């Protein structure tokens, strides 16, 4: 057929079946492009709606990675004449982007110092070895931490903690299936809930603060956000813990063996090192900066200060930050 081999035709058909959402997105956008825009809508507004439709279809269909969708939006803004190349580039260099970039880079530095097992032991010391109390501790710690350093970071830190307890309980996956589900969901729900607690809980919070200020609706400080959002978070923690426990109630009501093994591992690792103390100190410095200096310096610049300090004190190499930072989230 037209000189194409059977393999070429098969590959083409396979691509079409896998990427039909992508084809549909561009077909619908082409149709919308030639529809006359309402009199009350400017041509730029019409084209912006087309980009929104394309983005929604691609995100729902999951045919390409989310960072690729972000890149496509940048391209279409220029191609459709919504803004100039310099204008589009400038719009992405905002304090919100600096904040997201700085937070993700700091997360890499914190995780690289191996604080996860010490964090696990700290949770156990607070909760004891009863499973329901450990679940509450996981939800509470995940929520509180994710309200300050972002849910992706906290999930990366807490996952080894949960896996350590699960593996130390039993090597039989069937035996710990419900326990695994319970602990992992505790982290997931805790991280998701905690992101509303403070402006630094996620990039979306900082972006909304920027919109509120840009539209002249007032300025919300770091402490103001905490005053209104944190009480809701504190109410959600026991509710989520109780629902998770009732839904995934495990056979193991006491994790005595897992706790003992964890204590042995942490003891072998020795005392807290100077680098770990400096890592904690820098994060506390950044947090205090967010609370007291964000109205003057912005959240993003303060986060980048933290990255500068981690690099300057030799707590992490740039190659490690470059390799482990999720650049797709920044896009």
**d(C-alpha 303, C-alpha 292), whole Å:** 13
pLDDT tens digits, residue range 283-298? 888 888 877 887 788 7
pLDDT at 9 (0 to 100): 67
Contact 143, 233 (CB under 8 A): yes
pLDDT at 146 (0 to 100): 86
Look-up of token digits 């396979």: 14
Residue closest to 164 by CA, chosen among 262, 32, 308, 241? 262
pLDDT tens digits, residue range 239-288? 999 999 999 888 888 877 777 777 777 677 677 788 888 888 888 888 88
pLDDT at 247 (0 to 100): 92
pLDDT at 13 (0 to 100): 64
**d(C-alpha 235, C-alpha 255), whole Å:** 27
**d(C-alpha 331, C-alpha 329), whole Å:** 5
Helix (H, G, I), strand (E, B) or coil at 331: coil
**d(C-alpha 15, C-alpha 277), whole Å:** 52
pLDDT at 58 (0 to 100): 82
**d(C-alpha 302, C-alpha 250), whole Å:** 43
Q: Determine whether 99 is exposed, middle or buried from the number of CB atoms within 10 Å of its CB (0-12, 13-18, 19+).
A: buried
52-62 exposure pattern, b = at least 16 Cβ within 10 A, e = fewer: eebbebbeeee
Structural domain spans, the chain: 6-92, 94-113+273-331, 114-271
Q: Which stretches of the chain score pLDDT less than 70? A: 1-19, 115-117, 120, 150, 152-153, 156, 171-172, 266, 269, 329, 331
Q: How many CB atoms lie within 10 A of CB 320?
A: 15
Residue closest to 138 by CA, chosen among 226, 259, 234, 237? 237
DSSP string, 194-227: HTTSSGGG-HHHHHHHHHHHHTTS----HHHHHH
Residue closest to 155 by CA, chosen among 122, 98, 110? 110
């Amino acid at each position: 057929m037209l000189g194409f081999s059977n393999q070429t035709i098969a590959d083409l058909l396979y691509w079409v079946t896998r990427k039909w959402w992508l084809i549909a997105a561009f077909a619908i956008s082409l149709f919308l492009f030639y529809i006359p825009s309402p009199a009350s809508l400017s041509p730029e507004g019409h084209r912006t709606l087309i980009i929104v439709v394309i983005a929604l279809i691609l995100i729902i269909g999951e045919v390409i990675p989310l960072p690729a969708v972000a890149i496509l939006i940048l391209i279409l803004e220029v191609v459709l004449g919504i803004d100039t190349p310099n204008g589009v580039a400038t719009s992405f260099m905002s304090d919100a982007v600096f904040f997201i970039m700085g937070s993700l880079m700091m997360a890499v530095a914190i995780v690289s110092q191996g604080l996860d097992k010490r964090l696990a032991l700290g949770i156990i010391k607070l909760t004891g070895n009863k499973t329901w109390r450990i679940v509450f501790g996981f939800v509470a710690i995940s929520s509180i931490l994710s309200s300050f350093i972002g849910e992706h970071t906290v999930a990366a830190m807490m996952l080894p903690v949960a896996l350590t307890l699960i593996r130390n309980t039993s090597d039989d996956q069937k035996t710990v299936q419900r326990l695994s589900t319970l602990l992992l969901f505790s982290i997931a729900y805790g991280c998701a809930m905690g992101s509303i607690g403070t402006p630094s809980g996620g990039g979306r919070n900082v972006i909304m603060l920027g919109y509120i200020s840009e539209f002249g609706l007032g300025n919300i400080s770091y402490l103001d956000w905490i005053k209104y959002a944190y009480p809701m978070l504190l109410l959600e923690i026991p509710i989520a813990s109780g629902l998770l426990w009732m839904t995934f109630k495990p056979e193991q009501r006491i994790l005595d063996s897992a706790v003992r093994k964890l204590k042995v591992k942490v003891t072998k690792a020795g005392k807290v090192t100077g680098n770990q103390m400096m890592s904690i100190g820098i994060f506390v410095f950044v947090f205090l900066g967010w609370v007291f200096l964000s109205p003057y310096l912005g959240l993003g610049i303060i986060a980048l200060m933290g990255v500068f300090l981690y690099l300057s004190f030799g707590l992490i190499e740039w190659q490690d930050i470059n390799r482990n930072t999720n650049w797709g989230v920044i896009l």
